[in-house]
Amino acid sequence: MIQIGDKQFEEYLTPDQIQSYVQSLAAQIDRDYAGKDLLILGILNGSFLFVADLAKYMTSDPEISFLKFASYDGTSSTGNVKDLIGINEDLADKHILIVEDIVDSGTTLAHIMGLLESKGAASIQTATLFFKPEAYKQDIELRYIGKEIPNLFVVGYGMDYLSKGRNLTGLYQLKP
Ligand code: 5GP
């Protein structure tokens, strides 16, 4: 059990379990993208550890970059739309893999897809280490899923609570 701020969390996945999910995803991605120019786009902040480990397990030679949502809310008529920082690369004709730490409602992913769709990529697929199927509200296919988890708040392995806990090597679930 660990305490972060006012909340208590219990270990849900050990570091070894997480590494085995990451390793398995790396092998699948290597196999599926063999002979193709792959650009991995990690979504910050949460994906920094996942992308680092994934890249180390991969035997191919992908380009790796990161995207981050600007920390201000835009004033678009569609509501809380935020700009993405970091799309500096030429995405034309590249095979893009969006890499997320966790997909919950899928709102973030849908937003990213919307922003990347017009950039002329050869393909756009998604990899997420963790997925909460009970919370998912989109119909975007998640091509690579490390592990489905219950609809409970988690911290660790890149994910925070009150900006803490990102460097935990295991995954911890909020104690009910
Ligand atoms: P979505 O847009 O799919 O609802 O949520 C995606 C983002 O919300 C993730 O990239 C992550 O930053 C954050 N998020 C979703 N679920 C959790 C969770 O259980 N714990 C933490 N720390 N962040 C989460």
Where do the domains of the chain lie, and which CATH numbers do they carry?
A: 36-165 (3.40.50.2020)
45 cis-preceded (ω within 30 degrees of 0):
yes
Distance of CA 120 to the CA centre of its chain: 22
Predicted local confidence at residue 71, as pLDDT: 58
Instruction: Provide the percentage of residues in the chain whose pLDDT is more than 70.
Output: 92
Atom of ligand 1 nearest to the CA of 104: 3
- Phi and psi torsions of 147, nearest 5°: -160, 130
The reported pLDDT for the residue numbered 77 is 41
Category of 47 on φ-ψ map: left (φ > 0), alpha (ψ -120 to 50) or beta:
alpha
Measured between alpha carbons, how far is 30 from 48 in angstroms, rounded to an integer? 19
Q: Is 112 in the pocket of ligand 1 (CB under 6 A)?
A: no
pLDDT at 103: 96
Provide the pLDDT for residue 65.
Answer: 95
Cβ contact 93:63 at 8 Å: no
Check if 32 is active-site: no
What is the model's pTM? 0.93
Strands (E), 38-89: 38-43, 63-69, 84-85
Q: What is the pLDDT of residues 59-117, one digit of tens each?
A: 999 999 999 986 554 444 444 556 778 777 789 999 999 999 999 999 999 999 998 98
Q: What's the rounded Cα separation, in Å, for the pair 27 and 115?
A: 28
Ligand 1 mutation pick, 100, 159, 162, max ligand atoms within 8 A of CB: 159
Residue 103 Cα, ligand 1 centroid: separation in angstroms? 6
Q: Considering only residues 85 and 38, tell me which one the structure prediction assigns the higher pLDDT.
A: 38
If one residue of 108, 111, 129 were mutated to test the ligand 1 pocket, choosing by the most ligand atoms within 8 A of its CB, it would be: 108
